[in-house]
A and B are shown apart, each in its own frame.
Chain A
Amino acid sequence: MFYRENGQFKTSYRADQQVFPILQDKIAVWALIAACFVLVPMLASDYFYLAILIPLVIMSLAALGVNILVGYCGQISLGSGAFMAVGAYGAYNFVARVPDMPLIPALILGGLCATFFGILFGLPSLRVKGLYLAVATLAAQFFSDWMFLRIKWFTNDSPSGSVSVNNLQVFGIPIQSPQAKYLFCLALLVVMAILAKNLVRSAIGREWMAIRDMDVAASVIGIRPMYAKLSAFAVSSFIVGVAGALWGFVHLGAWEPAAFSVDISFKLLFMVIIGGLGSIMGSFFGAAFIVVLPIVLNLVLPALLGVFGVEISTAGISHTELMIFGALIVWFLIVEPHGLAKLWSTGKQKMRVWPFPH
């Protein structure tokens, strides 16, 4: 009733194969993007930008990258934090070593470093798969942790591996205020998301999905597993690498290897699973869930326990947060193993047939 799509006839293949073939979807998405660019900057405070929006946008980008690998190509990866780190330190090296390096090429070059690293550590995927691969990708994580801590060249000889960047600017426009940072990251996210969406709709995206669904059958029908898997690793780690560079450059400003620890790899995997495997939209949902949840818990928990007259320490909050986080993940997996994206489409279906349930 509210989501009526009858009467929207397609008379050409072109019209039928659009990203959003249904008119109201298209309008809604454009309106949402416009709101993010126009409405949000009018309303948001600096705290809101720094604590929620910027991390959310960057993590969405990273989750998008991980979703291409895990959700579309079915290669479970626990090394995403490493690809972020390589992207960040790669971009840092270009900025630090090349005089007058503009920001955007530096980000792209950082992403390319991550691509190279991703292909290298994606090689085991040709031989092993599933859980073995998940563990094997941890190698990338620990290797990068060690590399940026111990090999001084990568960190420009800083003793603890901590580096910093400043005076970010794009085309002469400084990226200093929270608002500018947000808009810059958002613009990159929109561009990347559109590219990714089109990529997964293309021939190569279908190859990835064929490999995910059953790699033996895919290779029988003439899909080259090596090409498909490594290209998924390459594209995924490029996006994750750019997200990592943004995380370091824009969000943190100064960072050390611990900023990209194995914890961040787990969180990215959570985002993808909770958001929905194999769904671009799901990456955003998942990132929102994981980024916003701790902040909400931090605000709500003391107030809620205060009602019962229980004082809670900071350590207590962080432990409770861990417990709730873990319990929610399990609960989510039990109730909706296909993620928030599935809930979203269920909701749309309900709107479609309302007021009749079937």
Chain B
Amino acid sequence: MAFFLETFIGGLMAGMLYALVALGFVLIFKASGVFNFAQGAMVLFAALAMARFADWMPQWTGIDNKIFANVAAFVLAAAIMFAVAWAIERLVLRHLVNQDAATLLMATLGITYFLEGLGQTLFGSEIYTIDVGMPKDPVFVLESAFQGGVMINPEDVIAALIAAALVAALSVFFQKTGTGRALRAVADDHQAAQSIGIPLARIWVIVWCVAGIVALVAGMIWGSKLGVQFTLTTVALRALPVVILGGLTSVPGAIIGGLIIGVGEKLSEVYLGPFVGGGIEIWFAYVLALVFLLFRPQGLFGEKIIDRV
């Protein structure tokens, strides 16, 4: 039982991190109808920037303080992500207004390649570490209930808390601010939003900036867990089933989908894996999402798709 709980909690934590990446997908799809395949590359790019700036900061400023270096690196990386968001809107999206979804998907694939190349050219392609001082030693809880207790990784807990805080902040931003309302209006209907004077171009930049920040946070957390390296882009591929499970347009869907996928993956790996040779984590999530889609094509919280001739 303790082992099951451990797996379950580990799954929840991993799911929270998937949800964080999935959130980036959902935000952009919601506000611009673009399925942003470049989210993974953005995560890598942001994490690379953050890792390197944190390294360089003491040399540049002469202040050898880890907290200062990390905060400054975070701010700088955020600024770079804003620049990337602006460039994407200005150079790519603006020219592709009204193209069909497949073209936009391809464009983001192009952006993916570009960002992967650019990130590694600017920041190098070795394995870097982000050290934001998260405690790494596992702790045991509930020792009175189970023998040996349940092992929990405090790093995961902190990561999940950060993710939860980010989601909460985003919900407030979407629900309570004027910009957030404008974003939701654009999501509902581009043309109607434009006609009442909402500047579409600016909204897109804002959305991509927010997605950039989400990517940065995801990259920071994943990077401090796994190290910053090229394989970070595959995290995005693992977050994709989360998006289709939760529905492309739903923020809560991304969270709950993430948790379901995270738990499903871990449980399947532990309890199903040994029978079929292991390593099934990567496709299990997809097959789970796929089977689910057969019953509810729009995902858990997606908007019902209505076709008319």
Contact = CB atoms under 8 A, between A and B. Distances in A.
Q: Are A and B interaction partners?
A: yes
Interface of A: 70, 76, 123-124, 127-128, 130-132, 134-136, 138-139, 142-143, 145-146, 149-151, 214-217, 220, 262, 266, 269-270, 273, 277, 315-316, 319-330, 333-334, 337
B185 interface: no
Chain A interface helix/strand/loop/mixed: helix
B308 A216 contact: yes
Contacts of A139: 241, 283, 286-287, 289-290
Chain B interface helix/strand/loop/mixed: helix
B161 interface: no
- Chain B: interface residue count, which band? 35 or more
Interface centre among A130, A145, A316 (most CB of B within 10 A): A130
A309 to B, nearest CB: 18
Contacts of B113: 322-323, 325-326, 329
A330 B107 contact: yes
Interface centre among A134, A214, A270 (most CB of B within 10 A): A134
A131 B35 contact: yes
Interface in B238-274: 240-241, 243-244, 248
Contacts of A325: 110, 113-114, 117
A266 B106 CA distance: 9
A180 B205 CA distance: 54
A208 to B, nearest CB: 16
A76 B105 CA distance: 10
Nearest to A136: B290
A73 to B, nearest CB: 13
B14 to A, nearest CB: 17
B101 interface: yes
B218 to A, nearest CB: 18
B114 A135 contact: no
Nearest to B247: A132
21 contacts: A76-B102, A136-B290, A139-B241, A139-B290, A142-B282, A142-B283, A145-B282, A150-B277, A150-B278, A220-B309, A319-B116, A322-B117, A322-B120, A323-B113, A323-B114, A323-B117, A326-B109, A326-B112, A330-B110, A330-B114, A334-B96
Contact of B110 (A76, A146, A216, A329): A329
B92 A262 contact: no
Contact of A337 (B99, B120, B286, B294): B99
Nearest to B122: A319
B237 A262 contact: yes
Given A131-B101, A334-B92, A214 B309 contact: yes
A127 B294 contact: yes
Identify the 5 closest CB pairs spanning chains A and B, nearest first: A322-B117, A326-B114, A326-B113, A329-B110, A323-B117
B293 interface: yes
